[in-house]
């Protein structure tokens, strides 16, 4: 799904304007002039023909691009989180690092939940988006079934944040993905997501590996394949995921 460089440039300018408007004092007379100008531009924009953006085209783009090592990835250009052409988006960059998805973002004032602090819903949206890129890396169509976020410290705006996500294990159609957000090397938020795999053929993509096709076929026929993931911990729970230990939690909470 391609958009013109001019559309991306306009979106970037509007994002800069929105963040600046929230973070700076502006004279009321100038604000009223801005409103008039914006309304005039709106009338011109909505006079144009509506864009056609079939959702199936987006899905084929997301799960069919096979990003290489270090390649930049996004869900689609108009995505509210990682889309470069969305004027209300975050202006975030995501790329592949081995089997992990990595994002770096500098949130502006427009995404505050309190002065100087990012809204928790924005943080959750970033986690969901980065986890979704893990699915793209694996060429595995899936949808978010559950997302759990642990906020360990206030998430600041105006500074570079890094989000990393990777698949930790799989059980049939269930994919478990873990992620963390860091600032200056300190973990400030963690997330765990459950995603449900779908047959690639539903989106006009080549079939997945034989075991994936078997799991999907069983699920859609009402069968439940035996779990094939790693050993479970106490109480049938998956084992503790690696990557973030107690020391990291403590250092993040101390920010």
Q: Is the pLDDT of residue 217 over 60?
A: no
Of 129, 133, 193, 126, whose CA–CA distance to 157 is shortest? 126
Joined tokens for residue 216? 């999907």
Domains and CATH numbers, the chain: 5-230+238-253 (3.10.129.10)
Q: Is the pLDDT of residue 10 over 60?
A: yes
Q: In the sheet where 142-151 sits, what is the strand order?
A: 93-97, 100-106, 160-171, 174-183, 186-197, 142-151
Write down the pLDDT at residue 161.
98
How do residues 52-85 score in pLDDT, each as one tens digit? 877 766 666 666 667 777 767 777 889 999 999 9
- Cβ neighbors of 225 (< 8 A, separation 6 or more) are 172, 214, 215, 218, 219
Write down the pLDDT at residue 72.
76
Q: Is the pLDDT of residue 227 over 90?
A: no
Joined tokens for residue 124? 């959750």
How do residues 163-192 score in pLDDT, each as one tens digit? 999 999 999 999 999 999 999 999 999 999
The whole-number average pLDDT for the span 18-33 is 97
Q: Is the pLDDT of residue 228 over 90?
A: no
The whole-number average pLDDT for the span 9-14 is 97
Of 128, 125, 186, whose CA–CA distance to 152 is shortest? 186
Write down the pLDDT at residue 61.
64
């Amino acid at each position: 799904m391609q958009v013109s460089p001019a559309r991306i440039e306009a979106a970037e300018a509007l994002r800069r304007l929105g963040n600046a408007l929230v973070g700076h004092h502006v004279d009321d007379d100038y604000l009223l002039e801005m409103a008039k100008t914006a309304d005039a531009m709106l009338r011109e924009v909505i006079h144009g023909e509506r864009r056609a953006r079939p959702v199936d085209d987006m899905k084929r783009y997301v799960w069919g691009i096979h990003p290489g090592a270090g390649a930049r990835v996004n869900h689609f250009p108009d995505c509210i989180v990682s889309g470069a052409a969305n004027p209300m988006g975050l202006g975030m960059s995501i790329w592949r690092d081995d089997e992990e998805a990595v994002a770096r973002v500098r949130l502006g004032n427009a995404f505050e939940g309190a002065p100087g602090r990012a809204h928790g819903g924005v943080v959750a949206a970033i986690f969901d988006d980065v986890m979704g890129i893990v699915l793209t890396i694996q060429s595995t169509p899936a949808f978010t079934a559950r997302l759990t976020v642990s906020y360990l410290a206030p998430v600041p705006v105006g500074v570079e944040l890094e989000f990393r996500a990777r698949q930790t294990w799989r059980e049939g159609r269930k994919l478990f993905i873990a992620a963390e957000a860091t600032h200056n090397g300190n973990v400030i938020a963690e997330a765990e997501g459950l995603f449900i795999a779908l047959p690639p053929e539903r989106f006009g993509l080549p079939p997945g590996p034989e075991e994936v096709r078997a799991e999907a076929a069983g699920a859609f026929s009402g069968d439940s394949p035996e779990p094939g993931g790693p050993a479970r911990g106490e109480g049938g729970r998956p084992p503790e995921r690696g990557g973030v230990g107690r020391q990291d939690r403590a250092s993040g909470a101390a920010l």
